[in-house]
Amino acid sequence: MAAGIISVGLSLTGNGAPSLAALAVAGGLWLVLAADFTARWYGDRGRFRAEADTPAALTAVAATTVLGARLSMAGWRPVAVVLLAAAVLLWPWLMHSVVRHWRRGSPGAAFLVCVATQGLAVLAAVLAADTRSDWLARAALVAFCLGLLLYAEALVRFDFREVLHGAGDHWVAGGALAICALAGSKLTASPVWAGPVHDALRVATLATLGLSLTWYAVLLAAEAASPRPRYDIRRWATVFPLGMTATACLSAAGPTGVGPLRPLGEVLLWIAVAAWLLTFAALVRTHPGAPRGGGPAAG
């Protein structure tokens, strides 16, 4: 997920070669995730069911939609359509498993219920624009609205002590709002919506982006107040929100008419790239012979 959204951001800023390199990493990691998903389904059904009950399982949906959106940007529309179909099939089953086991005092990974749903909205909106499909744009709007509701529900259950003590996935609290803003920007840019609906989408995009940037500042201040230098696999769930916030700024600048969002997004993008590289270096230093394994928003 982290490599995928950084690839999208690099593409939006005209950095073609680094974007393709990040896309190759994202594609490779997605294939590893898919192989692991399939192996556990056939080889260890009990463990598979247990892990499907946790919010981290929704990274399967989120990662698929992020990769699909980037491939659609690259002109691989048929593959993106297949990935959207796969994500749509996975979403209700995994969402049902996760929601059944929701509890209060949840870590930041709980916000993946919103991230996965808004991932569907983003990919559907991107493909709707590519294919000029009104029904797909309407489906994206439904997913967008549902994602906002799921964010509110996850926020109620979030353990706010994670802001000072979380191992990395607490950043998804802000990243989930960023993907809401990204989905909103894609819908705002769609010619399907005009008049009051277009205005409402623009306001929703700017509101969620503003809240995401507020979370960014709060979480950054918390990291300074309570440093957590030791590597943890959940640190990849920090990189993804950093990249998502940058990409949301870049994507929202045009449709909302707020030009300064673009230079802000460019600055935030390079922060996200640096965070990806530092996290990867920490992984290699901690686990020689890495990369291996996965986690929330891994890679």
User: For residue 288, what pLDDT is reported?
Assistant: 63
pLDDT of residue 45: 67
Percent of the chain with pLDDT over 70: 95
Instruction: Name the least confident of 32-46, 69-83, 139-153.
Output: 32-46
pLDDT single digits (tens) 82-112? 999 999 999 999 999 888 888 888 899 999 9
User: Six-digit token pair at 104?
Assistant: 């209060």
Q: What is the 3-state secondary structure of the chain?
A: CHHHHHHHHHHHCCCHHHHHHHHHHHHHHHHHHHHHHHHHHHHCHHHHHHHHCCHHHHHHHHHHHHHHHHHHHCCCHHHHHHHHHHHHHHHHHHHHHHHHCCCCCECHHHHHHHHHHHHHHHHHHHHHHHHCCHHHHHHHHHHHHHHHHHHHHHHHHECCCHHHHCCCHHHHHHHHHHHHHHHHHHHHCCCCCCHHHHHHHHHHHHHHHHHHHHHHHHHHHHHHHCCCCCCCHHHHHHHHHHHHHHHHHHHHHHHHCCCCHHHHHHHHHHHHHHHHHHHHHHHHHHCCCCCCCCCCCCC
pLDDT tens digits along 140-192: 999 999 999 999 999 999 999 999 999 999 999 999 999 999 999 999 999 99
Task: Give the mean pLDDT of 105-129.
Answer: 95
> Is residue 272 over pLDDT 80?
yes
Residues in CB range of 74: below 8 A, 6 or more apart: 11, 23
Q: Which of 283, 299, 237 is nearest to 30 (CA)?
A: 299
Average pLDDT rounded to a whole number, residues 22-45: 85
CA–CA separation, 263 and 272 (whole Å): 14
**CB-side neighbour CA atoms (13 Å) of 129:** 19
Given a contact cutoff of 8 angstroms between Cβ atoms, the answer to whether 193 and 138 are in contact is no
Instruction: Supply the pLDDT for residue 43.
Output: 77
pLDDT of residue 299: 66
Which of 35, 25, 34 minimizes the C-alpha distance to 2?
Answer: 25
